[in-house]
Amino acid sequence: MKSYERLLQYIKFRTPSDENSESVPSSQCQFALAEYLVNELHELGVSDAICDEHCYVYGHIPASDGYENSTAIGFIAHMDTVSDFCDHDVNPQIIRNYDGGDVVLGTSGLVLSPNLFPHLPSLRGRTLLTTDGTTILGGDDKAGIAEIMTAIENLRDMPHGPISIAFTPDEEIGTGAQHFDVEKFHAKYAYTLDGDTEGEIQFETFNAAKAKVFFKGENVHPGSAKNIMINASHIAMEFNSMLPACERPEHTEDFEGFYHLTSMNGSVSEAELNYIIRDHDASKFDFRQQTMQHVAKLLNEKYGDGTVTLNIKQQYRNMAEVIEKCPEVIEKARAACIAVGLKPLAVPVRGGTDGSQLSYMGLPCPNLGTGGHAYHGPYEHTTFEGMDKSVELILALIKEYI
């Protein structure tokens, strides 16, 4: 079976994670896909495949005869998707021999266009897989799962060392590695299949934190409010205005960090702002947090203690600090790209992956591209050919370790 055929099966499972949930996994729907994958692994000969109580799928493929002493490596992808644009079934569109131009996404009124996505002409002649404009596609990260599964199916025809497989829940809410059992996984190195363009090798992620800012006001009748009223919503807007406007996601790229206001709500009495804070550079990341703390301090001095309460929660660190100590894990990925005719694309992750946390848990784990683009929204798309090439890359990488 081809990887894209598997993807078309997997996206039938709706698996949004829930950042407001305290359960593990955060959404019970992820178990349905996990159980399906365990059964498929069994059919592919991975006899020890299991799904544990936290919805982590593990499996191991013993080395071929004579290759037992090869380095044990693993491949990981996540089962959950973002919750946005995920309230009904995915209705994918398949465009064969794509011409590189505009694609109308169903009857949604949205158009997948090179004006927004300049890489599209480079996909000319391929078979393009898109949404109908009303949902995500779910290739993040079901494409990664499909490619790993397809590579397993093709292992029967080649020698290999010991290989570990894992599929995780809740990556999209930053807790995908929280209950990962590194000892059970039993690999020296691993690769997540959770990137974009085929040939990407990502080993630098953001340092990441999220911030909740609470504002307390004084609400009185507006007719007698002079020198009494403190409008919490106004102070929230003042807080946001004191952060550098040029350091928002829409104005940054490459290694530039940002402050990102993700949600807001409020009234005169109280208000709340939610941010994510990102930077590749550890010192700049720390400075961003200090900046928010300083703004909160200034506003409390202006309006009174307790007006602003800032809570910052750490999420993950830049895995480059770990990966740099084992350069072979990147060198072999580059060699595998070249072996299958791909130009290695060493680019920073403007986000995070399970590998960010796993690397600090003792499992160096860079990220590889899956052939997908425009994740987390209705413009998400991939190509059959890009997915096929990612499967070839996995198999070539396995060869690098024997």
Three-class secondary structure of residue 208 per DSSP: strand
Each residue's pLDDT, cut to its tens digit, for the chain (402 residues) gives: 999 999 999 999 999 999 889 999 999 999 999 999 999 999 999 999 999 999 999 999 999 999 999 999 999 999 999 999 999 999 999 999 999 999 999 999 999 999 999 999 999 999 999 999 999 999 999 999 999 999 999 998 799 999 999 999 999 998 899 999 999 999 999 999 999 999 999 998 899 999 999 999 999 899 998 999 999 999 999 999 999 999 999 999 989 999 999 999 999 999 999 999 999 999 999 999 999 999 999 999 999 999 999 999 998 889 998 999 999 999 999 999 999 999 999 888 887 789 989 999 999 999 999 999 999 999 999 999 999 999 999 999 999 999
Q: Which amino acid is at 5?
A: E
Check residue 151 and give its pLDDT: 98
H/E segment holding residue 207: strand 207-216
Sign of CA dihedral 333, 339, 344, 349: negative
Check residue 316 and give its pLDDT: 87
Check residue 156 and give its pLDDT: 82
- State the catalytic residue, choosing from 18, 40, 80, 380: 80
Q: Is 67 exposed, middle or buried (0-12, 13-18, 19+ CB in 10 A)?
A: middle
- Give the CATH number of domain 3-205+318-400: 3.40.630.10
Q: Which amino acid is at 348?
A: P
* ∠ CA 300-301-305, rounded to 5°: 45
Check residue 158 and give its pLDDT: 93
Check residue 15 and give its pLDDT: 98
Among 366, 280, 380, smallest CA distance to 327 is for 366
User: Could you confirm whether 171 is annotated as catalytic?
Assistant: yes
pTM as predicted: 0.87
User: Could you confirm whether 305 is annotated as catalytic?
Assistant: no
Among 288, 293, 355, smallest CA distance to 318 is for 355
Check residue 51 and give its pLDDT: 98
* ∠ CA 175-316-271, rounded to 5°: 80
Check residue 174 and give its pLDDT: 85
Q: How far apart are CA 173 and CA 69, in angstroms?
A: 37
Domain ranges of the chain: 3-205+318-400, 208-316
- Give the CATH number of domain 208-316: 3.30.70.360
* Token pair belonging to 347: 């680019």
Q: Which residue has the tokens 């000969």?
A: 45
201 with 366: CB under 8 angstroms?
yes
- State the catalytic residue, choosing from 140, 141, 147, 171: 171
H/E segment holding residue 191: strand 189-195
